[in-house]
Structures are given as C-alpha cells and as structure tokens.
A and B are shown apart, each in its own frame.
Chain A
Amino acid sequence: MSVCVDKSTKVVVQGITGREGNFHAFHCKEYGTQIVAGVTPGKEGEEVAGIPVFNTVKKAVEETGADASLIFVPPPFAMDAVLEAIDAGIRTIVCITEGIPIMDMVKIRMVVKAEGVTFIGPNTPGIITADEAKLGIMPGFIFKKGSVGIMSRSGTLLYEVVDQITKSGLGESTALGIGGDPVTGTDFIHWLKLFEEDPQTKAIFIIGEIGGMMEEDAAEFIKSNVKKPVFAFISGRTAPPGKRMGHAGAIIMGGRGSAETKIKALREAGVTVVENITEVGKTVKEKVGKG
C-alpha cells in the first residue's frame, strides 16, 4: 500500500517535448513509472523516449487510459494545461511549473476542489512512492521502500530528509512536495489523512517553513485525528520578517507565520519537532524503532 500513486498509475506528461518534460519523462519511466503518453499541441505522432505524443489530453486518455498527469508547461499556459487535464477526466495532477500567477492558482484551486481533483504543486519536486512510481524531478536513487510518509514545502530539503530516513534504514512509503507557492492545490491536512489511513506508513514527517498558516492548521488537525507518530522540521528560524526567502510562500508578514509559532503549535499537538536538520534520521529512528 501507499498513498496517491503506485505501480498501476498511468501517467500522461503535458509539455513532454520541452527540455524539462523530455528529460524528466525519461527518468520517471526509467524509475519504473508507467509513463503512457505525452501531450504537446501540434506534435502528435512524434515519440519521446518511446512514449507516444498526442495533441490533446483527451486523445491521450482515450488511447492509453492515462489517469494521472505530470505537467511541465510554462507559466503562461499552465492554467490551460491543468483545466484541459481535468476536462479529460484526469483526477491526479502533479504540476512542476514554477512561477504561475497567484490569481491563476486561486482559480485552479477552486476548480480542483469542485471537481475532486488531487492537485500537487505548483512549484513542487512532485510525488514518489518508493520503488513503485515517481511523478516528478526528484533523484530516485535516494528513496527506498519503507515506512515513513513525508510531505514538504521545499524540494532539496525533502531530499535532505529522505536521504537521512533512507540511511537510517526506515525508508519511505510515499514522499511529496506540496509546492513552494503561497497558494497550492493541497495542504498538509490532505496528506495527513491519507498517511494516517495507509497501512504501510508507520510514521509521518512534515517539512514546513516560514510563511502562511499551514503548519498551525496541521497541528490543530493532528490533535484529534492522527494517532501515528508525527515528526516535523521547520526551516527559516533565522529569516527576518518581511523578506521573501526564495519561495514565494516563505515570508513572515505582520508577525504571522514565524518558525517559532509553528514549532510551538506542532509541539502542543504532540509532534516531535527536530531542531537540527542533521539529526532527522537519528531522531525518527530512535522514536519509531527498528523499522
């Protein structure tokens, strides 16, 4: 068992003939993911790494039975690509694209909520179920099938944590980046529910950062809904207020969304908050046991 994606997930890559789409479609396929189709308008009939390319998502779904989409389309065309996928019946969407206008994301979020679509991203490394399926740009070799479910607002920090969890011997069930933008398709609570229900997942790790209230909301949810052990790391303790730290979402505004308030809320909910990023693997291993 795992969460959201697995061996049976059939993926269409939107923007597959672009540099990024091309490169990562190949690596996802190599990891073992069923990449069944690509879409680039006007390029139907071509092949990328043995993957057939179609003009529309609808055609790709009809011909290949794709049920998930991985999007590499540039920001000006991203909303169009997302709505096209939803129209074609896709219900799991991973949007790697970075730099989508915030009001486009506000609209996308309303549509995915109304249609019951799981939308991961934007500005995310993607989602991976270890040793089964990778829909994203993360380095596959650092993951190993195991028992820790991981969710993150950041890409390379996800890799850092995964690397330690793998080396500790515990390994991961499913790991994903919810996205670094202020408005994302899912929040931590969405994944907490799924990891709590998933029998393979024995422990949950949240990688949060300054900005927004998502960690505080997760803490409130954990109190009465999550029985599995939850761990967290929050980056940005040293970030000054009012300065955006790379991610469009990572900014402390008007005193809200600081690392301190997030850590306090999580601890009050019984979450083990790791303070030193290099002690993640050790801490989880000690608490969860032999793996």
Chain B
Amino acid sequence: MIRLHEYQAKRVFLSYGISVPTGYVAFSPDDAWKIALEIGPPVVLKAQIHAGGRGLAGGVKIARTADEAKEIASQILGKRMVTAQTGPEGIVVKRLLVEEAVNIDKEIYFSIVVDRRRCKPAIVASPAGGMEIEEIAKLHPEQIITEPIEPIAGIMPYQIRRLCDFLGFNNNREEATHIFTTLYRIFVEKDCRLVETNPLVLCKDGSLIAIDAKMSIDEDALFRQKDMARLWDITQSDPSELEAQKHKLSFVRLNGNIGCMVNGAGLSMATMDLIKLHGGEPANFLDVGGRATPETIAKGFEIILNDPSVRAILINIFGGIVRCDRVAEGIIKAVRQVKVNVPVVIRLAGTNREEAMDILKKAPFKFSVMDDLNEAAKEVVKLAKGV
C-alpha cells in the first residue's frame, strides 16, 4: 500500500469537487508565514507524516497570527515525531499543511475499504467522528455502520438514505449524497485500498467539509495509476525496507536480535514463530522470494547486518524449483562479498539438499548446517544468547 500525505489526498478530493479547507503545504517556517498571511489567520498547522495519532503527539496546532504560524512551524519541521503508530524511532516531519480553521458543528467518520470477508468494497461510517475508528469500535461499537457496495451497481439510494439517517444528516442530504458517491468514485478510479475522511464536518453554516483526508493506493495497481505513484513520498519509509523492496525482497524490521532469511512469506512467519517458541526474538521478517539467487541472498545478508542488534542469523530455505545447491553457492558467494561477523545457522530442505550440504560443509566459513529445522531454531537461539 502506498500512503498519500493528507495534503495530497485533499488535492485529489478537491479535484473531484469535494470541499476541503483552503490550505497549502509548507516546507519551511517562511513558507508557513506566507501561507498564513495569504489565507488569513487563524490557521491550523498539521504535520504531514504517514502515521495517525498526530494530534496527541503535538503534530496539529492552531496559530492566531502569521508570526505564530512561523514560530510553530520552526518547532515542528525537522523534528522527529513519535505517535502511537510510528514506532519508538518516529518519523521526521518535512512538510506541514497550513490551512484555514473551520467552525465545526458536528464530526463524522467516513471511510471506504475492501471488506475481505465479503470480497467487495464497503463503506464504514460513524457519527462519532474525530477519534480513530479502532477507538470508536472499542468504546461505541453500536455507532458504526457498514454498507457493502456491489461493484457493478455502485452505492444505491437506499444505502445513502440509511447512511444519512444513521449519521444524522437531515437538511444536507444532497451534499452528503454528493460526497459519499464521489468518495466511492475516487476509491474505484484511483485504485485505493483506503479512502478516509475523519472528520468529515458539518460546519456552523450548514456546509460539509472534509477536514482530514487519507488515501492509500493499491501498489499492485501502480502500473495504471502513474499520477498516484508520483505522489509517493519515500522519505516516510524505513530505508532498509525500501532497499529490500528495490531488490524484490520483502523485509520488515522487528525488535529482536536473531536475523531471519527464509523463502516464502508463510514459511518466514512460521520460522519466526519457531524461534519465539524456543525463547528467542526475531530481529526481522525477510522473505527472499521464490527465486533466491546469489544476488538476492547477498542483499539479504547486507540488509540483516545493517541492524547492529543482530547476534545470530538463521537461514531456512525450502528448495522447490530453486535448487538447494544453487542457494548454497549463493550463500558462499554472499559471505565473500559481505563481511558476516555473527554466527550463521543454515537449514536447507527440498531439491538437491545433499549436494548443498556438501558445498556448505566444505566452505571456509564456519556455518552451523542442520538437517532438522527444530534443532536449527534451538541452535540459533542459543547462539544469539551467547551461551
């Protein structure tokens, strides 16, 4: 999933005729000052990071003057922001959205996702807007409405009537209808995995405005969503995860000290689970994919060893179409290229396993080569603990 920044999603909303607060993106405190003057204070400053929970983390502030806007911008820009969703390392704020403050009468939660169980898109909405949907689900589950949409028909009028009744729209049904159907159009036309506005607000003057905007694009659809692909801000992602992605590896950083390199996502997770079962903590998820080549394995080592907390590595490959002897050659080639300074436990199974074992046992580097996955997991846990 490719997440867009709020200001980018708002531009898409606006281009489809959905009202959003007037605002512009600032890259510096001077930008913020100029924008505040142009819009006319008071203005709201919102940190643009790919994570929710900004409000509580001090990423959303009101400025009553242009000077105050500049002052606040200088405090937030360049600062690492840690929210409930960023993880302890946080994300550096490089862009601020500066926009007009709006007089709010009522806040609505509204989103569209693909409902996996029904295998079709669904609207999820609540009159308890302003908080995260997880929170609403926990505190007021009866205040959530779900409307599955038949893709060949689109949103039907009876569903809009039901939504309006539930959300308490009485005098603005026409505008609500426009917003609901338009957001669904955006969802379909831009290949979204998520379209969300929280809150969608009813203003004191009776108009409806999307105060917040979130869009995540289906990365599998980027081949036909070139405009959306260009909006992707890569500075928001973990550099190791990006590097892995470039080499068609799937990598997720975790908090333990045992590096894992496995082929296939399911087997990778199962290997991590096994390490944990034996009292160890995986440092990462790394799926080298169906075609583990010497190059991908070398890259895998490099990415794992970038993490200084790694104390030992477990390689678990089930050779199918990929032959184990080729994987073994890859491992040896990789170890020559990359300086590996932690113990490595290897378990290979499947096609040409015996040949692979021979190659690894003759190698100048001392690997722990194991036949049995259970023993291999126990061994790597022991090695990581330095026992």
The answer to whether the Cβ of A76 comes within 8 Å of any Cβ in the partner chain is yes
Count A-B contacts at CB 8 Å: 171
Interface hit among B29-37, B156-164, B204-212, B271-279 = B271-279
Chain A CB within 8 A of B339 CB: no
Instruction: Say whether B119 contacts A109, CB under 8 Å.
Output: yes
A43 to B116 alpha-carbon distance, docked (Å): 38
Binary interface profile of B, 60-98, with partner A (CB < 8 Å = 1, else 0)?
000000000000000000000000010000000000000
A141 touching B270 in the complex, CB below 8 Å, given contacts A76-B223, A103-B221, A155-B264? no
Structural contact, B320 and A75, CB atoms closer than 8 A:
no
- We find that the number of chain B residues with CB closer than 8 angstroms to chain A is 55
Are the CB atoms of A207 and B266 closer together than 8 Å?
A: yes
* B17 on interface, CB distance cutoff 8 Å: no
Interface size on A, residues (CB 8 A): 65
How does the 8 Å CB contact mask read for A104-129 relative to B, with 1 for contact and 0 for none? Answer: 01110110000000000000010000
Cα A207 to Cα B282 with chains together (Å): 22
CA distance A63 to B378 in the complex (A): 57
- Contacting pair A246 B268 (CB below 8 A): yes
Residue in A101, A125, A236, A245 whose CB lies within 8 Å of B218: A101
Chain A: CB-nearest residue to B113: A253
Evaluate contact between A137 and B373: CB separation under 8 angstroms.
no
**Dominant SS at the B interface?**
mixed
Contacts of B254 in A (CB 8 A): 238, 240
Task: Report how far A103 CA is from B193 CA in the complex, Å.
Answer: 9
Are A275 and B277 also in contact (CB < 8 A) when A103-B218, A139-B321, A213-B117 are? yes
A50 interface residue per 8 A CB criterion = no
Please name all residues of chain B whose beta carbon is closer than 8 Å to the beta carbon of A244 when the two chains form the complex.
1, 252
* A100 at the B interface (CB under 8 A): yes
CA distance A247 to B137 in the complex (A): 26
In the docked arrangement, what's the CA distance between A244 and B254, Å?
Answer: 12
Chain B residue contacts of A207, Cβ below 8 A? 266
Q: How far is the CB of B206 from chain A (nearest CB, A)?
A: 33
B345 CB, nearest partner CB in chain A, Å = 14
Smallest beta-carbon distance B300→chain A, Å: 13
Bound-state Cα–Cα, A158 to B188, Å:
34
**A23→B268 CA distance, assembly (Å):** 26
Contacts of B268 in A (CB 8 A): 245-246
Q: Are B114 and A182 in contact (CB under 8 A)?
A: yes
List chain B residues, Cβ under 8 A from A278. 274, 372-374, 377
Determine if A233 is an interface residue (Cβ-Cβ < 8 Å).
Answer: yes
When distances are taken between beta carbons in the complex, the residues of chain B under 8 Å from A75 are 220, 223
303-321 of chain B: CB within 8 A of chain A: 318-321
- A142→B277 contact, CB < 8 A: no
Tell me whether B114 and A247 are in contact (CB under 8 A): no
Kindly list chain B residues whose C-beta atoms are within 8 Å of the C-beta of A235: 266-267, 269-270, 273
Q: Does A73 contact B (CB under 8 A)?
A: no
Q: Which of A105, A137, A250 contacts B269 (CB 8 A)?
A: A250
Name the A residues within 8 Å of B282 (CB-CB). Answer: 238
Contact of B263 with A276 in the complex, beta carbons under 8 Å? no
- Smallest CB separation, B349 vs chain A (Å): 6
B277–A154 contact, CB under 8 A? no
Q: Is B109 among interface residues, defined by CB-CB distance under 8 A?
A: no
- Residues on A with beta carbons closer than 8 Å to the beta carbon of B137: 254
Complex contacts, B270 vs chain A, CB 8 Å: 157, 160, 233, 235, 277
Complex contact B318–A245 (CB within 8 A): no
Shortest Cβ distance from B265 into A: residue: A246
Q: When each residue 189-215 of chain A gets 1 if its CB lies under 8 Å from chain B and 0 otherwise, what string results?
A: 000000000000000000101111100
Complex Cα distance A155/B262, Å?
12
Answer whether residue B110 sits at the interface, using C-beta atoms and an 8 A cutoff. Answer: no
Ordered by A's residue number, 5 sampled pairs between the chains whose C-beta atoms are within 8 Å are: A110-B151, A157-B267, A183-B116, A244-B1, A259-B273
9 nearest A-B residue pairs (beta carbon):
A154-B266, A246-B265, A156-B264, A157-B266, A101-B221, A139-B320, A235-B269, A278-B374, A156-B267
